[in-house]
Chain A
Amino acid sequence: MPVSLTNSSLIYNTLKECDIRLLSALPETWLVHLIRLADEDPRMVLVRLAKEEEGVGISAAAHFAGVKSAMLMQNHGFLASINGIVSFAHLYKIPLLMLISYRGSLGERDPWQTQGGNVTEPLLRALGIPYAFLDAAESVKKRTRQAQALAESSLQPVALLLTRDLMWEE
């Protein structure tokens, strides 16, 4: 499977450096290494979800408890989480660090991913969610730290879009 282990490890180590101690996740192809790394790490609480929206409640609770967390999801999982984002994270000013695999963008070969790719950025903009791309190994650490800093200072969700260029080795 050509999901980049090198860059998945880079992202995981960056999350650890950001003091992330809880990850919620629902598996998707690009996230398999990240989820396995979390699962094998005794110092990480990995919460495997049935649906991504649950992760909003989990991360809000972690924030209340003083635990730094992040959410791993596919962009379709972001679509499935929107009510939770609006009526919990936005309504109650909850910082969320959302790592979203950006399926359905340039290079996508799976037809079923393409419609979600079309609407991901327009929806992030419509919701007023600041976002940036993780698209090159050199900038992963800096952008992740910056996203976490903004989420915590603004008390709102911030998204990092994991791109094909970073996650996939062809």
Chain B
Amino acid sequence: MLRVECLRSIYSELQECLVVTIMGAVAAELQSLGHRSNFFYLQHAMGLASSTGLGLALCLPDQKVIVFDGDGSLLMNLGSLTTMARYRPSNLIHVVFDNESLLSVGGFPTATNTGTDLAGIAAAAGVPIVTTVRTVESFKAAVIGAREGSELTTIIAKVEATGPAAYVTGLSLIENRFQFSRHIQSLKQR
């Protein structure tokens, strides 16, 4: 399963969500499908995409928030699973693209390559709904199910360790940040 095909399968569903991604391939591939003002790419601070999604979900309970995390990033902040589970906002969907690799720095294997089970960790942390998916169809169904459901959900998507040719895009980090915050302010004024 390719991560970009997963993203493509739900791209149209993201229009009404607030989206936070990690750095690297996830950010570049989502931008390759078309940037929107409701997408925020956290291009460093590995581990904090899930914390950012949690903060958005707690502050904006009427918005659906979806985080596109990765195995390497989540492994740097496993405590975030316990914090998310503690508050378990019903409007937060936590997708983890698990390619068992730190792809952007040369493909070094992460601990999920040697047996660590992020779905098991998330469930044991107390995340109420955890699913593991291995096909694009099941990925799409899991995301749509979580969006229409009312419980914090972590979706572990097992994907191939391949990515785009380049990671730097034409969108500046600062431009993205202010566009995203203005987008949220416009939602609140509706």
Binds B, one of A44-52, A96-104, A141-149, A160-168: A44-52
Establish whether residues A57 and B59, one from each chain, have CB atoms under 8 Å apart when the complex forms: no
Q: Describe B's contact surface by its main secondary structure.
A: helix
A54 at the binding interface (Cβ < 8 Å): yes
- Partner of A60 from the list B43, B55, B79, B173 (CB cut-off 8 Å) is B55
Residue of B nearest to A65 (CB): B59
Binds B, one of A11-19, A32-40, A87-95, A109-117: A87-95
B7 at the binding interface (Cβ < 8 Å): no
A42 at the binding interface (Cβ < 8 Å): no
Establish whether residues B58 and A57, one from each chain, have CB atoms under 8 Å apart when the complex forms: no
Query: Chain B contact residues (Cβ within 8 angstroms of A): what range?
Result: 20 to 34
Residue of A nearest to B48 (CB): A57
Residue of B nearest to A64 (CB): B181
Establish whether residues A53 and B48, one from each chain, have CB atoms under 8 Å apart when the complex forms: yes
Neighbouring A residues of B173 by C-beta, 8 Å? 91-92
Establish whether residues B59 and A87, one from each chain, have CB atoms under 8 Å apart when the complex forms: no
A95 smallest CB distance to B (angstroms): 11
B90 smallest CB distance to A (angstroms): 15
27 residue pairs bridging A and B, Cβ less than 8 Å apart: A45-B59, A47-B54, A49-B79, A50-B82, A51-B77, A54-B54, A56-B45, A56-B48, A56-B51, A57-B49, A58-B51, A58-B52, A58-B54, A58-B55, A60-B48, A60-B55, A64-B56, A66-B185, A66-B188, A84-B47, A87-B44, A88-B42, A88-B45, A88-B48, A91-B44, A92-B173, A92-B177
Residue positions of B touching A, CB distance < 8 A: 40, 42-45, 47-56, 58-60, 77, 79-80, 82-83, 86-87, 173-174, 177, 180-181, 184-185, 188
Given A47-B58, A84-B48, 18 further pairs, Cβ under 8 A: A45-B59, A48-B83, A49-B79, A53-B47, A54-B54, A54-B79, A55-B51, A57-B50, A58-B55, A61-B55, A61-B56, A61-B59, A65-B60, A66-B59, A87-B44, A88-B48, A91-B43, A91-B173
Residue positions of A touching B, CB distance < 8 A: 22, 45, 47-51, 53-67, 83-84, 87-88, 91-94
